[in-house]
Amino acid sequence: MLCCRAIDLVFTASGSGVYDEHSLSNAFRDVHTGRTHITQNWEFNAITYGLIALRLESDNPLLKIGSPIL
């Protein structure tokens, strides 16, 4: 979240437009895209992490014993 606020301040202060070639525009887009990605959502992932860390059954169907990826 701090990274998003920082890039917002720099982007606004620079007055740069949203151009594909501009490195600041790329950083702005990348940071905001990463922030909204499901793997970066701590509230969503903390429950699953806690369950696994405590050796309890996971609420994530992909992490259950016998699932296609385990």
Where are the chain's structural domains?
2-63
Query: What are 10-66's pLDDT values in tens digits?
Result: 888 887 666 667 788 888 888 888 887 777 777 778 888 888 888 888 777 777 666
The DSSP result for 6-58, as a single string, is HHHHHHHHHT----TT-HHHHHHHHHHHHHHSGGG-HHHHHHHHHHHHTTPPP
The pTM for the full model equals 0.49
Q: What is the pLDDT of residue 8?
A: 86
- Taking the C-alpha atoms of residue 26 and residue 36, their distance in angstroms, rounded to an integer, is 16
Residue 70 pLDDT:
47
